[in-house]
Every structure is written in structure tokens, then in C-alpha cells.
Amino acid sequence: MQFVGKVYRPWMEANSVLIQTTLGCSINTCTFCTMFDDKRFKVRDIEDVFADIEQTRRMYPVVKSIFLIDGNVLAARTDFLLKVIDKIKHTFPELEHLAMYSGLNDFRRKSVSELVELKQAGLDTAYSGLESGDEVVLKRIKKHLTPSQAVEGALMAKEAGIEVLQSFIFGLGGRYRSQQHIEATVDLLNQMQPEQIAPMALAVQPGSELEREVNAGEFVLPTEMQLLEEEKYLLENMNFNTVYWGDHGNNMIQMRGMFPESKPFFLKHVNEAIAKKPGAQENVIQTFAW
Ligand SMILES: C[S@@+](CC[C@H](N)C(=O)[O-])C[C@H]1O[C@@H](n2cnc3c(N)ncnc32)[C@H](O)[C@@H]1O
Ligand code: SF4
């Protein structure tokens, strides 16, 4: 099985078999993201996807979990995706979990009945990026997503019964828009009510447009204290039940659990970290490329 270009999967899918169904990302403009900058978006030939599925069957006697890559597989046509999912379900009758990456706008580009068909075929979870609920930040990062589109997409997925794991980025408002960024993000999350969330600390990726902006002084990185204050605001103001995957390797505190059950425990850790006054107020966050 030959993967084309750089390959990414969410860390929660570490035990999943990966099937490359599309190549790249159909947006590919987000200023912070270099995940798929090495290829143009393309839907793979279905025969090639089927060949990979059959080869996977020969390689693994038991496959419980599959994650479809690359960046936003849901951008592919519904009839193509249904054929791929059908092939997967017939090839791996023991399968328990099937997920993919999807932009929030990709839900909107389908009808709810198409999404229901995908859910009934076997797609249970989609990993989407919100990044920020702040319109100014969304424009600045060139996400091609508005706050109202984000809510609409998320609610369509919910109506169809597809679980959404929603990622977003602490620090994406920079030094001077931290408060607006987190307030608008929490407000939007409260409307979207994703079943799972993954708040991730901003990483300045080498070669990204964001890196150029940082070097040119157009984007001023937030302080460590601001990142902690953003997480504290999130925990204190989120009003829905969700799975909290705050344990990405770049986050200042790694915390994972059910929300709100773990809220007191999470807040205790954040407040302790804030009390230590990390790196003094003036220090910028340390970021690690991935
Ligand atoms: C493949 S995308 C998610 C699916 C889809 N492409 C989208 O953006 O909606 C992976 C996610 O990882 C996170 N991510 C990517 N680059 C990042 C960076 N430099 N710093 C922090 N988070 C990042 C973002 O939340 C992004 O949405
Ligand atoms: S964050 Fe998602 S939509 Fe944006 S460029 Fe990266 S993969 Fe594409």
C-alpha cells in the first residue's frame, strides 16, 4: 500500500488502519497549516482505493477501526464515498468504528439526507476544524468559513447522527485578540455542541504563512499565561456535555476526560498552572512543529 505525500491522522486514531481515499485538502489556504501543502486535492480512483482495502484485509486479520485520509475526505461525492464505505463494511465485517476528516463546510455542501445515508452506511465520526469562533480571526487565517456556516455545518452533522470531534486552537488570536478569540469560540461551541472537542495549542509550522507573519511582526504570539487563561475561560463557560481531548502534545497541560464530570479536576490543574505564573507575562509561547 503506497501512501502519497505527508500522512496525518488525529492522535485519537492511533490504533486505526488508514485508507487514503482523497489526496490533500480542498481548502489548503489556512495560514497556520502545512499538513497537505505537498499535494493538490484529488479524489483517488476508486479501483486504487479498493485495492488498498483488499491489501489491508490481507495484512490484518482483525480490523476494528478505520480512519479515512487525507484532509477533508467528505469533500468527495456522496456516491463515491458510499461505494468506499460499502466496500469497507463488506471487507471488514468486524469493523466497529469508521471516521474521516471533514471541513464544516463539507457538511453544508451535502444535504442532510446524504449525510444520513453516509451515517447509515457506517460513517460514525468526522474530525472538523473550527479553529476560532471569531470572524476576524477566521478571516485572518483564510479558513473560508464564517461563524454561521460553522454552526450550520455542525448542526447538519448532528441531525444526521454523525458525531463531530471539533478541534480549535488556543492562541490563534495572538497577543492582542486572545479575549475576543476565546469568547467567540466558546459562544459558537455552545451553539454547535460537538460530541467531542480537541483544543490544541497553536504551533508555528516551518514554511507556513503564519511563520512569515510572525517573522514580519504582523502576528504577535500570545504568552503562555494567555493560553492558560483561554483554557480557563473555555472550561468555565462551556455548557454542553462532551469528550475533552485537551491532551495534544503541544498543549500546556495535557488533560483528557468527560466534560462536565472532569471540570473541577481540569480547572484545578489550570488554576495551579496560572498561579505559577509561567514564563512571566512577557514570554511568548513555545511552539513545536508537527
Ligand atoms: C485536517 S484539519 C481538520 C479537518 C479539516 N481539514 C478542517 O480544517 O476542518 C486538522 C486540524 O489540526 C489543527 N491544526 C492544524 N495545524 C495546526 C497548527 N499549526 N497549530 C495548531 N493546530 C493545528 C486544526 O484544528 C485543524 O483543523
Ligand atoms: S486546517 Fe484543514 S482546511 Fe485548513 S488547510 Fe489544514 S487541512 Fe485544509
**74 in contact with ligand 1, CB cutoff 6 A:** no
Let me know: does 66 contact 101? Beta carbons within 8 Å. no
Q: Please give the average per-residue pLDDT across 266-284, as a whole number.
A: 82
Q: Rounded mean pLDDT of the chain? A: 96
Nearest residue (CA) to ligand 1, atom 18: 203
The CB density around residue 186, as the number of other CB atoms within 10 Å, is: 19
pLDDT of residue 157: 98
Q: Which ligand has its closest atom nearest to the C-alpha of 130?
A: 1
Q: Inform me whether the pLDDT recorded for 277 exceeds 80.
A: no
Q: Which residue has the cell 463557560?
A: 237
* pLDDT at residue 79 greater than cutoff 80: yes
C-alpha cell at 95: 469493523
Ligand 2 centre from 43 Cα, in Å?
16
Question: Is the confidence at residue 267, as pLDDT, over 90?
Answer: yes
Give 129's DSSP letter. E
Given a cut of 90, whether residue 189 has pLDDT beyond it is yes
User: Which pLDDT score is estimated for 287?
Assistant: 67
Which DSSP category does 223 fall into? Answer: B
**Nearest in space to 140 (alpha carbons), one of 215, 218, 71, 231:** 218
The preferred substitution site among 167, 209, 288 for testing ligand 1, maximizing ligand atoms within 8 Å of CB, is 167
166 C-alpha vs ligand 2 centroid, how far in Å?
13
The CA distance from 210 to 174, in Å, is 11
pLDDT(278) > 90: no
Q: Contact, 68 vs 19, CB < 8 A?
A: yes
Q: For the residues 210-219, what does the mean pLDDT come to?
A: 98
Is pLDDT at 212 greater than 70 in this prediction? yes
Q: In angstroms, what is the C-alpha Rg of the chain?
A: 19
Residue 254 confidence (pLDDT): 95
Over residues 194-203, the mean pLDDT reads 97
pLDDT classification of 216: cutoffs 50, 70, 90: very high
CB 151 within 8 A of CB 128: no
Q: Is pLDDT at 56 greater than 80 in this prediction?
A: yes
Q: What are phi and psi of 248, to 5 degrees?
A: -65, 145
> Could you give the angle at the alpha carbon of 168 between the alpha carbons of 162 and 173, nearest 5°?
150
Cis ω before 70 (30° cut-off from 0):
yes
Q: What is the pTM of this model?
A: 0.96
> DSSP secondary-structure letter at 66?
E
In the block, which residue shows the cell 471487507? 91
Residue 2 has a pLDDT of: 81
Q: What is the pLDDT of residue 53?
A: 98
| Residue of the CA atom closest to atom 3 of ligand 2 | 27
Query: Hey, whose CA ends up nearest to atom 24 of ligand 1?
Result: 129
pLDDT digits (tens, 9 = 90+) for 238-255: 999 999 999 999 999 999
What is the number of other CB atoms lying within 10 angstroms of the CB of residue 32?
A: 22
| Mean pLDDT of all residues in 121-125 | 98
Q: What is the pLDDT of residue 113?
A: 98
Ligand nearest to the CA of 10: 1
Mean pLDDT of 133-156: 98
Ligand 2 centroid to residue 246 C-alpha, Å: 20
Residue 205 near ligand 1, beta carbon < 6 Å: yes
Query: How confident is the model over 204-231, as a mean pLDDT?
Result: 96
Rounded Cα distance between 22 and 68, Å, is: 8
Q: Is residue 196 scored above 70 in pLDDT?
A: yes
List the single range of 21-30, 54-63, 281-290 with lowest mean pLDDT.
Answer: 281-290
Q: Is the pLDDT of residue 279 over 80?
A: no
Residue 280 confidence (pLDDT) above 60: no
pLDDT band at 115 (very low <50, low <70, confident <90, very high): very high
pLDDT band with cut points at 50, 70 and 90 for residue 1: confident
Residues in contact with ligand 2 by the CB-under-6-Å rule are 25, 27-28, 30, 33, 35-36, 71, 103, 129
Q: For residue 45, how far is its CA from the centre of ligand 2 (angstroms)? A: 22
Residue 106 φ then ψ, to 5°: -65, -30
Report the pLDDT averaged over residues 260-288: 84
Is the Cβ atom of 154 under 6 angstroms away from ligand 1? Answer: no
